[in-house]
Structure 1
């Protein structure tokens, strides 16, 4: 099986009501039976901890607001617990699974436990960190979609940020991650756990905790607690104006510089901005007093106290300084949808 092989037939775009999705969800005995039949054992390599509680996966789907009109992307479906709960709503979906035997088994599970939903389901065998709109054209057609997933804990944050960068139509997500990761993703400036992931996620939209998950709902049970994080992407109107209750629309041309500043500031988080940034060049310039003044930021502050809007202001000041240095006029800001 190749890395980008489609395992099932193409999804039927016809809306189907939940009543038409006759079937049942997986319990602990089902999960163990499927694993035994397929010769599958959970591996640390892929961060596999399979959910064995139907109530938990239904809770995740409710938190995500999934219904028959929702187009869903799932990453790391495993043996299909959450997949079936998503399909139970009547939604259409695609799952991205890195483990070939698991990806190959999943369509058989759907056919056995929820056969009426098979036409609304597809799975590709692909690493979520490598997937692109070319691999998933149905998620790059201008139609909003939602990510709902029990993410592999060892790569949860990179997966989230990579998908948000590559898929402009990814408008919301509800994901289960390690509790400490959830805390970092929703952390606010000034807190000890506020870091680069917190600020970068805030570039794209608003996130919040959506509940805690106990260890007993997994097989095998992890050594850490889990939590749900829900996220809604910022949306700007056609004029680049904000429609997000005061949050600034982002200029996509500033993202690379903004993220570079964030990385540099948090690589030495106990240092002041002046000390952390003075030896690094951004867009061909360094952050001197003139750049900080233009951004309205005190250089004696630490990066861990800055909001995403302040990092954006600093990136804009860097770009304007670079334009002056190179004799170019800075381009007009464009709103990031």
Structure 2
């Protein structure tokens, strides 16, 4: 038996319910031959479910105890399965032995959005996936413009594809039992992103500025980023966006239009 106490610092809440594992694998539409990247495999219950479905799994685990134990667990329960364990912080990963086609994970809740966006940025081969996250975060990722929970994560996620909530998850399927609710969030990538890396970076800067002062009109919220409110108005008007609009009403395409206008006016 592995002598292990889950740590809050690493956001460790392990899935221990077989029905939940089967549901995640089914919702993710994992098939034989898929290369799945899993972040935070923990005790390996989801890992085993993915391997049972015929996928090859690249598991990224920061906890050395779990990273050492996982291959032993899999060798006992699924000896013919193909598992690669990477002991690393997922936010530092830039390459993997196999290019993943899907992301399926119970993401550490304290870093779920940064990890998700990092993987989508650096691994364009990830075409779809399902992640389990804190309910509040999941609803934000899948939110549409105008929603009360629409924000920076919603826009940044939309850069990469289409998002949906895919079911509630009971607190009782975890060890230890968390004090927050959880949801599954599914996504399908559209292309490789909306535009170039330069425009992605610029768009994300504008998104951060807009939602950093979300109650303010864009002409005020973007004033510091562009140098003055007059400069912000000029960019917004060039992009066809009302200077009196607020970030919560804009789509990712609107933010991209602002980024394009800002770069064009800077030339």
TM-score category of the 2 structures, normalised to the smaller one? over 0.9
1:114 aligns with 2:78: yes
Which residue number corresponds to residue 315 of structure 1? 259
1:123 aligns with 2:67: no
Q: Which residues of 2 match residues 175-254 of structure 1 at below 5 A? A: 175-235=131-191, 249-254=194-199
- Which range is displaced more, 251-260 or 198-207? 251-260
Q: Which runs of 5+ in 1 are unaligned?
A: 1-36, 237-247, 324-337
Matches of 1:114 and 1:258 in 2, distance apart? Answer: 45
Task: Choose from 202, 210, 213 the match for 1:265.
Answer: 210
Matches of 1:288 and 1:93 in 2, distance apart? Answer: 47
Q: Give me the TM-score of the superposition, normalised by structure 1.
A: 0.76
Question: Quick check: which has more Rg, 1 or 2?
Answer: 1
Matches of 1:274 and 1:186 in 2, distance apart? Answer: 27
1:295 aligns with 2:239: yes
Matches of 2:232 and 2:70 in 1, distance apart? Answer: 55
1:250 Cα offset (Å): 2.6
SS in structure 2 opposite 1:176?
strand
Aligned residues of 2:199 and 2:256 also touching (Cα < 8 A)? yes
Assess, with a 3 A threshold, how the Cα gap between structure 1 residues 54 and 317 changes in structure 2: closer, same or farther: same
1:62 aligns with 2:7: no
Matches of 1:216 and 1:288 in 2, distance apart? Answer: 49
Point out the structure with the larger helix share. Answer: 2
Matches of 1:92 and 1:174 in 2, distance apart? Answer: 16
1:159 aligns with 2:99: no
- State the number of aligned residues: 267
1:277 aligns with 2:241: no
1:88 aligns with 2:52: yes
Q: Deviations over 1:131-173 (max 9, x none)?
A: 111xx1422xxxx610000001110000000111111212112
Q: Which residues of 2 match residues 10-159 of structure 1 at below 5 A? A: 37-117=1-81, 120-133=82-95, 136-139=96-99, 145-159=101-115
Matches of 1:184 and 1:269 in 2, distance apart? Answer: 15
Q: Deviations over 1:96-142 (max 9, x none)?
A: 0000001000011101112221xx11101100011111xx1422xxx
Q: Which runs of 5+ in 2 are unaligned?
A: none
Q: Alpha carbon RMSD of aligned pairs, Å?
A: 1.7
